[in-house]
Amino acid sequence: MKKATAGPAAPESGGAGRRVVVTGLGAVTAAGWGVGPLNDWLQTGRTAIGPFTRIDHHLQRTHVAGEVPPPPAGQARLFARWRRYSNTDRFALFAAVEAAAAARLPASLHDRASGVFFGSSTGGLFESEQFYSQLVGHSTDVANRSFLASHHLSAPAEAVARQFGVSGPVETLSSACASAGLAIEQALRSVRSGEVDIAFAGGADCLALTTYSGFNALRAMDAQPCRPFRADRQGMSLGEGGAVLVLEDLEHALARGVTPLAEVLGAGSTCDATHMTAPHEAGQFAAEAMRSAIADAGLTAGDIGYINAHATGTPLNDAAEYAAMRLVFGERTSDVPVEATKSVLGHLLGAAGAVEAVVTVLGLMHRVVHPTAGDGPCDPATPLTLVSGRPRAVPDLRYAISSSLGFGGANAAVLLGRWMPT
Amino acid sequence: MSDDVKLKQDLKRLIVERLRLEGLTPEKIADDAPLFGDGLGLDSVDALELVVGLEQEYGIVIKSHEIDKTIFTSVDTLASFVQSARGGGVQGAPPSATGAPDKHQKHDEHEEGHGRPRSA
Amino acid sequence: MNVLHRVVITGLGVVAGPDCGTEALGNSLGAATMKTVVVDDRQGYHVPGSSRRAVLTTGVDLSAWVPPAVARRMSPPSRLAVAATQMALVQSGLAGAVGGLSTGVVLSSSLGPVTSTEQLLDVARRDGPQAVSPFAFAESVANAAAGQVAIFTKAQGPNLTIVQREAGSLTAVGRGAALIASGQVDRVLAGTVDEMPPLLHALIGRFDALAKPDETGAEIARPFDARRNGFVVAEGSVVVVLEREDLARGRGARILGRIRGFAGAFDATAPRLGWGGGSAALAGALDRMLKSAGCRASDVTRIVSGASGAVAGDRIEADVLKAVWAGAPLPTILVPKAYVGQYGGGFLAGAVLSVSGGSFGKTPGFESADPALGIQPFAGGPLTPAPLSLFTTIGSGGSASWLLVESA
């Protein structure tokens, strides 16, 4: 049962205390419903960003996104239970159920110290937009309030908590692009400190008119699928979906007879505190988040063998992120293989940090760095090692960093390690 | 008053209103005063907000690659840009400063173009 | 587990509806009448016969705290949060002195930004997506307020925006305190912000959550009362300065309270928009929190309850407290939401103020206890500093949050 803790639920730091491992993964993305389809897609080097129908975009500046395809036919019963939920809720629930099954968790976690730590920027915004459209378009008594039932940003996390009877903390962080990275950090600290033994760490977001229009208003989106770090990159692509990692106390997992998939070794976060939409161009605070994660793991920058970068594909982000990597990795920056998952799935906003952590774990498990979609030379101003075409084997891969740099300046870095039984 | 002067007055009003520069009257903005950086201290998001204002007010379409510092240097440069975007010089320019924007007008991004979008 | 540092509160900034500053709020708590105004319903969002009143910040002039040049691109939540932050820093003696990696920001919002999104969607609908304002989008994200606070104070440490419905404000303080306790930062600006535009007010009303107009047309929140029928909503922002105790004492700061414990829990029986029946599990979590802090229920000298007048919400709140106190009499129960409404931080501010003592008038709206609950909130009078206070919130949708604060 839950271990007593003294004082406020204070996180561990400096690597002391309980070890936290990943025992299950779940994902819903443009590649399909499930980690299997995601993993398969990651082998191909192709992008899953393309035409989409979630919202009407004929008046938008761009016409591509990483849209989740229709759900698989064989899951009718599951989806029937969830039919009143929002898209975002369903992405979260599917991913959580998949992750829980992979972790061989019991159907109910009610008697275990467990929590949910999620990121979301949209919650049920897609459905709320439909409600609003009814509200302002028709008389006030026609708009169907049931569209609003999952409006809250906290709704996906709460749906997951209800699904599994979670009784511990259920928290949602909404810091734009850094949300899920920060949520994973919170889950890490919660498990490390003994506040919980099991945590669903994840995120979910859905394409919506607000976000699609908003990023176009900022002229931030590329008409083509995004091309992070390439010389001719023009901007980002939006995506949607959900991803969940089951984080667990190592001893608790081993006692259940479950083999970890990876270890969560450290995390760090900072804030640029400079501008609401543009990253700090010198990258120093993004660098500090990475350094902090590395220190939290008790490692050095030289130990990192793979970087899953934030890499939205906007000229400003990628340049600032390169600068940040230079500050942390110095001369090695151009040698450490980098993966830009957003080139494949698009930017999942509040779920990005979670889906990218899942991808990073897959890389660690299989000792590969997956290809970044697209071709063309890297921007000479950001000379990085991107993998193209098919995954690159990295036989001695042990440690990886996944970074998420958000709108509003929040930066999050999570350090993951291959599971290496001692 | 000449169309050119009127256009610049309207642009100054648009700048103050759209960018919410309370306490600044349009008359106080000199035609050639720098708008960005040290001048009025506007930044990239202000530029984008102004772009939307210009498109809506004048019924023009401004491509991302056209949004660069030279257009926004001053009210003077802005006025030249708007005049050429409206398809004429001062003579023969469409009379209405609030040319109703066509909400069905396509705003697709060109793939060619050398400029880069400004925002993150 | 390493708890390296003790954490104290050294400043409190308040914009709670019309009350700007701790003195104004203190006066309102003493006078014990909720200050509601009629919500603008000209856009026609409100259905006939629905509740019309809320505690709003209309008329509050924040320009002394947030200069117009800085406020220019800020939405209401950002302005409110920056103002409250600055007030808290001034009170703590740290104004202008908190920049850097050793200062974090942890804000919560129960309902998130609405005005900016509404504006954005209106324009998109009317004039097409190409007419959408970049300003509106930039401020439509839930972390706009936290981002603006960081820019304003140059706080470069962890920056978190917690969205956890009504439970968020206590979670923000609890998690903020944990960042300091573990040594990640030296201080945190922690708090909450909510805006209440007409659209939001109308929609909450559509779910029958608001206190209904009575025979005189008055809309009264009656926490724990037999006749309660909903809550009254408010807007505003409240921010506290959390600091390492040794650093605070080292600079001679006035201490408003010490964070003794925090816990969060979830009632999985709660429907999405209401409260469930899982009081036993919640009581167990609260019990464990007290034990972890080395306390028993009998050590708690005062409860500051997040009860709001919600029919089911107040019931589960009462059930949990009674279960934890296990038949022993409950200590004094303050219910700030009866005085200042729900959302916007009035509850957090009232709670923090009460630790140092002060004067709360008789709990507004409360006339007779619901016999099923058997809770009598504070009858009014002077309050001495409370050696140990328990702040509680059980939010709709299932999340519960508790903070243990001792006077120091």
List phi, psi (to 5°) of A221.
Answer: -105, 145
Name the residue among C380, C393, C387 with its Cα closest to residue C337: C393
pLDDT at C288 over 60: yes
Give pLDDT tens digits for C130-170. Answer: 999 999 999 999 999 999 999 999 999 999 999 999 999 99
> Which residues of chain B fall below pLDDT 70?
88-106, 109-120
CATH number of the structural domain spanning residue A286:
3.40.47.10
pLDDT at C334 over 60: yes
Active-site residue, from A57, A252, A280, A347 = A347
For position A140, what pLDDT does the model report? 52
Q: Which two tokens stand for residue C280?
A: 């036993």
Active-site residue, from A177, A206, A226, A378 = A177
pLDDT at A29 over 50: yes
Considering the domain architecture, whether residues A272 and A240 belong to the same structural domain is answered as no
Q: Which two tokens stand for residue C291?
A: 């034990």
Helix, strand, coil abundance in chain A, percent, nearest 5: 35, 20, 40
For position C40, what pLDDT does the model report? 96
pLDDT class for A11, splitting at 50, 70, 90? very low
Residue A146, Cβ density class (10 Å: 0-12 exposed, 13-18 middle, ≥19 buried): exposed
> What secondary structure letter does DSSP report for A224?
S
For position B36, what pLDDT does the model report? 86
Considering the domain architecture, whether residues A72 and A151 belong to the same structural domain is answered as yes
Q: Find the CB nearest B48 among A218, A224, A275.
A: A218
Other C-beta atoms lying within 10 Å of the C-beta of residue B95: 7
Least confident of B72-76, C92-96, C200-204: B72-76
Considering the domain architecture, whether residues A59 and A39 belong to the same structural domain is answered as yes
For position B109, what pLDDT does the model report? 67
pLDDT at A15 over 80: no
Domain boundary among A232, A255, A278: A255
When pLDDT is averaged across residues A89-95 and rounded to a whole number, the result is 98
Alpha helices in A138-275 (DSSP H): 155-164, 179-193, 209-217, 250-255
Of chain A residues 219-238, which have a CB less than 8 A from chain B? 219-224, 234-235
Domain presence at residue A13: no
**pTM value?**
0.95
Name the residue among A241, A243, A265, A261 with its Cα closest to residue A253: A261
Give the β-pairing of A170-173 and C53-54: unpaired
For position B86, what pLDDT does the model report? 85
Task: Tell me whether C61 touches chain B (CB under 8 Å).
Answer: no
For position A79, what pLDDT does the model report? 86
Supply the ipTM of this predicted assembly. Answer: 0.98
Considering the domain architecture, whether residues A270 and A251 belong to the same structural domain is answered as no
- Contact list in B for residue A279 (CB cut-off 8 A) is 120
Mutate to test the interface with A, among C72, C130, C148, C163 (most CBs of A within 10 A): C163
Whole-number Å distance between alpha carbons of A173 and A179? 5
C-alpha count within 13 angstroms, C-beta hemisphere, residue A141: 4
Whole-number Å distance between alpha carbons of B27 and B9? 8
Considering the domain architecture, whether residues A241 and A284 belong to the same structural domain is answered as no
pLDDT class for C2, splitting at 50, 70, 90? low
Q: Per-domain residue ranges for chain B?
A: 3-87
pLDDT class for A1, splitting at 50, 70, 90? very low
Beta strands in C40-173 (DSSP E): 53-54, 103-108, 159-162
The partner residues of A170 in beta bridges, in order of sequence, read A116
Considering the domain architecture, whether residues A129 and A198 belong to the same structural domain is answered as yes
Residue at A29: amino acid letter: T
Considering the domain architecture, whether residues A177 and A302 belong to the same structural domain is answered as no
**Mean pLDDT across chain C, nearest whole number?**
96
Residue with structure tokens 């299932």?
C398
Greater pLDDT, A139 or C13: C13
Measured in angstroms, the CA of A39 and the nearest CA of chain B are apart by 29
Domain boundary among A255, A282, A315: A255
The CA R_g of chain B, rounded to the nearest whole Å, is 14
Q: Which two tokens stand for residue B56?
A: 């809506």
Considering the domain architecture, whether residues A207 and A308 belong to the same structural domain is answered as no
Name the residue among A271, A314, A287, A277 with its Cα closest to residue A401: A287
Give pLDDT tens digits for A247-304. Answer: 999 999 999 999 999 999 999 999 999 999 988 889 999 999 999 999 999 999 999 9
> What secondary structure letter does DSSP report for C15?
E
Question: Which residues are within 8 A (CB) of C371 and not within 5 positions of it... i.e. 6 or more apart?
Answer: C226
Give pLDDT tens digits for A104-137. Answer: 999 999 999 999 999 999 999 999 999 999 999 8
Q: Which domain does A113 fall in, by range? A: 20-255
pLDDT at C196 over 90: yes
Q: Find the CB nearest B52 among C73, C126, C131.
A: C131
**Mean pLDDT across chain A, nearest whole number?**
93
Q: Collapsing DSSP states into helix, strand and coil, what is residue C38?
A: strand
When pLDDT is averaged across residues C16-34 and rounded to a whole number, the result is 96
Considering the domain architecture, whether residues A298 and A175 belong to the same structural domain is answered as no
Whole-number Å distance between alpha carbons of A65 and A206? 11
Residues B45 and B119: beta-carbon distance below 8 Å: yes
Considering the domain architecture, whether residues A248 and A293 belong to the same structural domain is answered as no
Considering the domain architecture, whether residues A229 and A296 belong to the same structural domain is answered as no
Please answer yes or no on whether C45 and A140 come within 8 Å at the CB atom: yes
2.60.40.1080, 1.20.140.10, 1.10.1200.10, 2.170.120.12: CATH of B3-87: 1.10.1200.10
Considering the domain architecture, whether residues A305 and A212 belong to the same structural domain is answered as no
Name the residue among A16, A196, A14, A230 with its Cα closest to residue A113: A196
For position B102, what pLDDT does the model report? 59
Angle, CA of A383, A388 and A393, to the nearest 5°: 100
For position C45, what pLDDT does the model report? 93
The partner residues of A202 in beta bridges, in order of sequence, read A118, A244
Q: How many domains does chain A have?
A: 2
